[in-house]
Amino acid sequence: MNNIKKTIYMLRNLILGLSLISIVACAAKPRVDLEQEGLQLKPTTQHGVIVKEVANLLENFSYKRVSMNDSISNIIFNNIVEGLDQGRNYLLQSDIDDFQQFKNTFGQDFKEGDLSSAFYMFNKYSDRYLQCLNYALEQVDAHHDFSKDENYNSFREKLPWFKSDAELKDQWRKRVKYDLLNLKLTAGDSVKLDLAKNKETLRNRYKNLISQASKANANDAFQIIMTAFTAAVDPHTNYYNPSFAQAFNESMSNTLEGIGAQLQMENEMVTIKMIIAGGPAFKDKTLQINDRIVAVAQGDGEFEDIIGWRLDAAVAKIKGKKGTVVRLKVLPAGAELSTAPKIVRLTREKIVLEEESAKREIKTIKGEDGKNYRVGIINLPKFYIDFDAVRRGDQNYKSTTRDVRLLLDSLKQDGVDAVLMDLRNNGGGSLQEAIELTGLFIDKGPVVQVRDTRNRVQVDSDQESGVSWDGPFGVIINRFSASASEIFAGAIQDYGRGIILGSTSYGKGTVQNAVDMSRFISATNKLLIKASGEKDADTPNGAPEFGQINITMGKFYRVTGSSTQHKGVEPDVTFPTQYSAEKFGESSEPSALPWDQIKPSTFSKISDLTSINAQLNQIHTKRMQKSPAYTFLLEDIAEFNKVDAMPSVSLNESKLKAERETNRLKNRDRINKQLAFLGLPLWKEGQPQPKFDYDFVLEESANVLIDYIRLNKK
């Protein structure tokens, strides 16, 4: 009997082995023979299996259900090129011409698990990148004439690709010249202007960049390729390799130690994309969205240049243990490269994001009738809920709605005349919390509709009777208010329950599900991956073995039937903003789903505010014409938009120095005008730049609510 079992076991293994051999033998021949091309980085068997399964998911199960055809291939191609060299500083036109052979094949290749052409492009780019850096290293010791009139463009996105190697080298000669000049002009008074020291600093910078680039691996290439792939479908569908998946899930666990900012690499600079409420950067108020961090120092140590670093390496320098100090050299958002960076000193903290709670304050505002009004302000940075506590059956779980209900009760006890909900920069969160929070201001009724991949529409309603606040109410939104924020603001507007103020919201009207890719990898493919013998040394312990996909599975609609997608929520009383729809928000994403409509829900409006909103806008406009603070806002917007997408910097030392001095004096004058308006001491030469906390949009929104109260009384 034992012999029979052994024989069966041997036969089963033999059949399995033959099956695997058959699978390998039947696999399509890769489009590019990477071995023959002598290229360093190659996709693993696991990469091929994953891209094939992702293609299947996107084609058959995502909300958009995109066919893997020529059209999607073209978009993937453009995304890969942009992902590799958005600023057009490394590749030649001849490289782009070479890549054109793959432009119409990516969709079908990925469907078959073939990543060879994408890896070919990545390898060619990597070679060019290292060639440029090595040439730059040579140029550090070359002679540079700083009295010569010439300019340097760091970001060439709208310029043609380099036609020759000579053009490319000239760009990098100018890059080195600018870097040396910048080091000289930005050195502090206590630092001796030593050319030899500046050359050594720059030499170390380029050596570090070369070292970082040399560490690129197949997972780096795979992540860039998969990001280009999923972004071709829609901007919120993302694949994360095991390392990225773990990082993403850790960020969702709501705890981190650092400065409290979400960072992203843009044009070789670490760029601030979000400031986390409650963190050091949020409390300090110096850093802003789209500021660029160019150097980092630990405590009072020397600054380390991080331009061009890998993002994970840069983040490792910026993050750190609670209580330690980090100093940052920062180029403000929209500032030219010639601008002297500001230095920001922050003490790192442990940021517990589940405690990123709603907070309240009361402002006393004098109305145009001469009376004092008390306006309760509730600042809500996100829509949160402690899901683990809910699953454990904890009756005291923490949530947005519970916290806001308590704040409203306390504001009523303090006798406020109106409540203003501040949702600026609130990127969303829990859908259920958006629904329940709306229920604090309306008495039962539908809040949002969700349509799934089968076109089934579910109406989600507030089921609880009664309201927590029935007085004058306003909601402030801006371009970075998204998703759940738009559901809440849209419902308040549709019911006529309050005044929406600010600027048009982001326009994200889609819902994603986060799915572990292991659910889609068959047992046969798992054996195939195991049989390949390839080890992924970069996969951290506890990370999803095959990565994770966040895939769009539904779309939100307001109770009126109008989608929040693309258009966002338009305020009743509008404030100007520097964040245009063409550059920021869902409408700036080429692959974003379109706006559309479905049938409206059955709901009863609380009031029609059309007439009173028109009156509020008239009063608001007249007040703005007389407001110095409004003039400051318009000046800030003009300054932000003045910088073109292709900033050109003078490489003439005297001109650049004069330009920086002009900008410094202009900035001081600008700040002193604001200080004078607020009745604060002026900023004198030699003193550190003063900080002042004045939120014009919040102040004016409170004024509009007071106008609303007065008009209602009439």
Per residue in 611-641, pLDDT tens? Answer: 999 999 999 999 999 888 888 888 888 877 7
Lowest mean pLDDT among 321-325, 374-378, 501-505: 321-325
- Alpha-carbon distance of 489 to 604, in angstroms, equals 17
Question: For residue 354, which phi and psi values (nearest 5 degrees)?
Answer: -70, -15
pLDDT at 27: 55
pLDDT(231) > 80 = yes
State the burial class of residue 597 (Cβ atoms within 10 Å of its Cβ: 0-12, 13-18, 19+).
Answer: exposed
- Residue of higher predicted confidence among 653 and 255: 653
State the amino acid at position 4 in one-letter form.
Answer: I
- Alpha-carbon distance of 505 to 492, in angstroms, equals 14
Which sign does the torsion angle of CA 570, 576, 581, 585 carry? negative
Cite the active site residues: 483, 494, 508
Per-residue b or e along 247-273, where b marks 16 or more CB atoms closer than 10 Å to that residue's CB: bbbeeeebebebbbbebeeeebbbbbe
Q: Which of 378, 392, 408 is closest to 468 using CA atoms?
A: 408
Lowest mean pLDDT among 10-19, 291-300, 629-638: 10-19
Q: Which of 459, 401, 694 is closest to 599 using CA atoms?
A: 459
- Alpha-carbon distance of 682 to 688, in angstroms, equals 11
E strands present in 284-440 = 292-298, 304-305, 325-331, 342-347, 349-352, 359-366, 372-379, 418-422
E strands present in 229-312 = 238-240, 255-258, 261-266, 269-275, 292-298, 304-305
Give yes or no for a contact between 66 and 72, defined as CB atoms under 8 angstroms apart: yes
Which sign does the torsion angle of CA 477, 479, 485, 490 carry? positive
pLDDT at 78: 97
pLDDT(16) > 60 = no
- Alpha-carbon distance of 427 to 425, in angstroms, equals 6
State the burial class of residue 557 (Cβ atoms within 10 Å of its Cβ: 0-12, 13-18, 19+).
Answer: buried
589 CB contacts (<8 Å, ≥6 apart)? 234, 235
In eight-state DSSP terms, residue 337 is T
| Greatest pairwise CA separation for the chain in angstroms | 101
Give yes or no for a contact between 674 and 583, defined as CB atoms under 8 angstroms apart: no
Tokens 């202009």 locate to 666
* Strand, helix or coil for residue 672: helix
- Alpha-carbon distance of 236 to 246, in angstroms, equals 18
Lowest mean pLDDT among 107-121, 188-202, 241-255: 241-255
pLDDT at 22: 45
Neighbour tally for 695: CB within 10 Å: 15
- Alpha-carbon distance of 422 to 702, in angstroms, equals 11
Tokens 């100018």 locate to 174
DSSP string over 352-374: EGGG---EEEEEEEE-TTS-EEE
Tokens of 332: 């403000």
Tens digits of residue pLDDT in 379-428: 999 888 877 677 778 888 788 999 999 999 999 999 999 999 999 999 88
Tens digits of residue pLDDT in 517-567: 999 999 999 999 888 888 765 665 567 889 999 999 999 999 999 999 989
- Alpha-carbon distance of 203 to 224, in angstroms, equals 28
Average pLDDT, the chain: 88
- Alpha-carbon distance of 300 to 57, in angstroms, equals 51
Tens digits of residue pLDDT in 249-271: 655 434 567 898 988 888 778 99
Which sign does the torsion angle of CA 619, 625, 628, 634 carry? positive
Q: Which of 145, 142, 155 is closest to 181 using CA atoms?
A: 145
Tens digits of residue pLDDT in 562-604: 999 989 999 999 999 988 877 888 988 888 899 999 999 999 9
Neighbour tally for 647: CB within 10 Å: 17
Tens digits of residue pLDDT in 200-223: 999 998 998 898 888 788 989 999
Tokens of 448: 């949002």
* Strand, helix or coil for residue 204: helix
- Alpha-carbon distance of 240 to 223, in angstroms, equals 7
- Alpha-carbon distance of 547 to 194, in angstroms, equals 49
Between CA 488 and CA 493, with CA 492 as vertex, the angle to 5 degrees is 115
Give yes or no for a contact between 625 and 709, defined as CB atoms under 8 angstroms apart: no
Give yes or no for a contact between 550 and 511, defined as CB atoms under 8 angstroms apart: no
* Residues across the chain: 714
* Strand, helix or coil for residue 573: strand
- Alpha-carbon distance of 124 to 105, in angstroms, equals 18
Give yes or no for a contact between 176 and 136, defined as CB atoms under 8 angstroms apart: yes
